[in-house]
Amino acid sequence: MPNDHANLIWQIADLLRGPYRPPQYERVMLPMTVLRRFDCVLASTKQKVLREYEKRKGGKFRDDALDRVLNNAAAQRFHNHSPLSFEKLKGDPDHIDKHLVSYINGFSGNVRRIFDYFEFGNEIEKMREANILYLVVSKFCDVDLHPDNVPNSEMGLIFENLIRRFNELANETAGDHFTPRDVIRLMVNILFINDDKLLATPGTVRKLLDPACGTGGMLAESQNYLREHHAAARLYVYGQDYNKRAFATAASDMLMKQVDHNGGTDNIRFGDSFTDDQFPRESFDYLLANPPFGVDWKKQQNEIQREHEKLGFGGRFGAGLPRVNDGSLLFLQHMISKFEPVLPDQHKHGSRLGIVFSGSPLFSGGAGSGESDIRKWIIENDWLEAIITLPEQMFYNTGIGTYVWIVTNRKEKRRKGKIQLVDARECYIPMRRSLGDKRRKIGEGKDGEPDQIGDIVKLYGNFADTDRSKTFDNADFGYTRVTVERPLRLRYQMTVEDKARFLDACPHLLDDVQAIDKELGRKPQRDWNAVWSRIEKLLRGRKSHWKTTEQKLFRTVFTQKDPKAEPALKGGRDEGYEPDADLRDFENIPLKEDIEAYFDREVLAHVPDAWMDRSKDKVGYEINFNRHFYRYTSPRPLEEIDADLKQAEEQIVRLLREVTA
């Protein structure tokens, strides 16, 4: 049984106690499990591979060509041409470290690359120094992982079980590359919800990508779902990650399962999805991801900005760039760029995408910002199908609220032009034991748990308005950001101090200023338009021509804002009022509203002298989840509050008496 083998391997991990802390056990146990599985898988063809290697080594074969020949001899997608095996490694305890390294170097390039990313050489040396290497290898010899005893499907479950356990031990960082299985199962169920007919078609082949695949949990669960519900369908899974150990874990998991992945090339690849896209010209039927929350993209900024500016929508980031301290929406754009077009005649049925976000991508950034422009692009293209809010305390490294976005270019007819919001915040059961910040899980209907995943999927599938599910038109989340201006009101007054200040800057205008002082006097005047008209007339009479900068300086020095003054006209002429930048405001007017009517009703009613500057209009989109699912809680009666306060006061007095006594 898978659990028996997983428990046996788990017990071996106790040997590491001391040199390793529990969160570090996976550095040894996962690579060793992979090695033991490969050793068992290759045992039956070992001699054939060795004979073929002896015949071919030193010839004109390139490494990759030799690998292909030896892989064929092994009847696998990998081989090992070292004469050593786990049993033989036990034969020389004093040099087991050197033999183990030699054994690993005997593997084909794809496996060696995995162990390079595991950085397993460091662990071999560490175990040698702690004098536990021989013991660990010996114990693994007792674990029979031969395919006759443990089929590929069971081996996948064993490895997933170990990954989950080790990641739970390392819960302080697990969220960076490990998504809880209950969350993944919910996402997978919704991703495939409408595709029963498509996936039941004989010979159906589909491709799925996770560009932040971590240890491959989403890929594994997607395949498990198809095995359970559509065994005849074939799902090729692809992943990419920039965390070395996570990448190595996912890559070895796929190799151990012998996953068919369309052509035999490596389907799990290492690299930064933003700057080193490993699937640049490929499209996918399904996409899943749980990118790191709130991780900045400062290191990749130059390359991403260059792609945005040079390629626009011809690249991946044409819609906009979010603020540099959160790259979540970059992942979403990257994934959308890999959508399959909807061309049924060519057997292309579009794509569906599920991604986990924090609350920030819902509303961060006002109209015209990168975040808002990305939301606008997605919603106006009618790609956003639904958003599901999850309970808090669901992830290992954060207790914050999280959201699953479902994005697709092939909405059902009834969903076109619509967005569904599902409130699943109360769909959880407490965990018996907290794992980091994860204290809750979504019930899966097993071992006496309620089937909360099923409940959420039904809410989603019913597409009806209830207390926990609401549907909206796309335009309901859009608004026009209108600039609201109010007139500048200036009071003129010449004082000795201001006069001296102006003349310090423009001493050549002394005679003109003296004439203005004599003509207008020193009393405050609240109509700047009339004042400047008189000054212009006086200057014309004196045949003085002031520069524009001098006119501006004069107004700056001799006027002050005064709410009781008359509005200042633009340019001193009747071209409308000059706006006061300090009083400038913005009004977000829903797209469905008539802007003029809304402005008259909501703004002019309170600010009669305001007007709109429509030349600065910007359309933005935001999704305020709490507004749509707000539940009013009536306050407690004052009598109850007074009674509680009185009780607290009496308790404080009693405690003080005990102290003073």
Domain boundaries in the chain? 1-169, 490-572
Residue given tokens 């409940």 in the structure block: 455
pLDDT(263) > 50: no
What does the pLDDT read at residue 119?
Answer: 92
What does the pLDDT read at residue 516?
Answer: 94
What does the pLDDT read at residue 328?
Answer: 93
- Which fold, 1-169? Ferritin (1.20.1260)
Residue of higher predicted confidence among 26 and 332: 332
Cα maximum dimension of the chain? 113
What does the pLDDT read at residue 174?
Answer: 43
pLDDT band at 435 (very low <50, low <70, confident <90, very high): confident
Strands lying side by side in the sheet with 384-389: 268-270, 234-241, 205-210, 286-289, 352-357, 403-408, 384-389, 418-423, 469-473
- What DSSP designation does 15 have? G
Rounded distance between C-alpha atoms, residue 194 and residue 444, angstroms: 20
Average pLDDT, integer, range 462-484 = 95
- What is the tally of helices (H) and strands (E) in the chain? 27, 18
pLDDT band at 313 (very low <50, low <70, confident <90, very high): very high
Give me the helices (H) in 418-462, please. 452-462
Question: What pTM value is reported for the model?
Answer: 0.85
pLDDT(293) > 90: no
Question: In the chain, what is the straight-line distance between the N-terminal and C-terminal CA atoms, in Å?
Answer: 68
pLDDT band at 596 (very low <50, low <70, confident <90, very high): very high
What does the pLDDT read at residue 587?
Answer: 94
Lowest pLDDT segment from 63-72, 86-95, 315-324, 478-487 = 63-72
What does the pLDDT read at residue 384?
Answer: 97
Rounded distance between C-alpha atoms, residue 456 and residue 175, angstroms: 23
pLDDT(520) > 80: yes
pLDDT(300) > 70: yes
What does the pLDDT read at residue 173?
Answer: 47
Q: 188 with 55: CB under 8 angstroms?
A: no
pLDDT(150) > 70: yes
Angle subtended by helix axes 26-42 and 2-12, to nearest 10: 130
Rounded distance between C-alpha atoms, residue 362 and residue 624, angstroms: 7
Tokens of 370: 């990168």
Q: 456 with 186: CB under 8 angstroms?
A: yes
Sign of CA dihedral 486, 490, 491, 497: positive
Structure confidence by residue, pLDDT tens digits, 549-588: 999 999 999 999 999 999 999 865 557 899 999 999 999 9
Q: 395 with 402: CB under 8 angstroms?
A: yes
Average pLDDT, integer, range 423-430 = 92
Structure confidence by residue, pLDDT tens digits, 159-202: 777 877 777 676 544 445 568 889 999 999 999 998 888 787 77
Q: Strand, helix or coil at 238?
A: strand
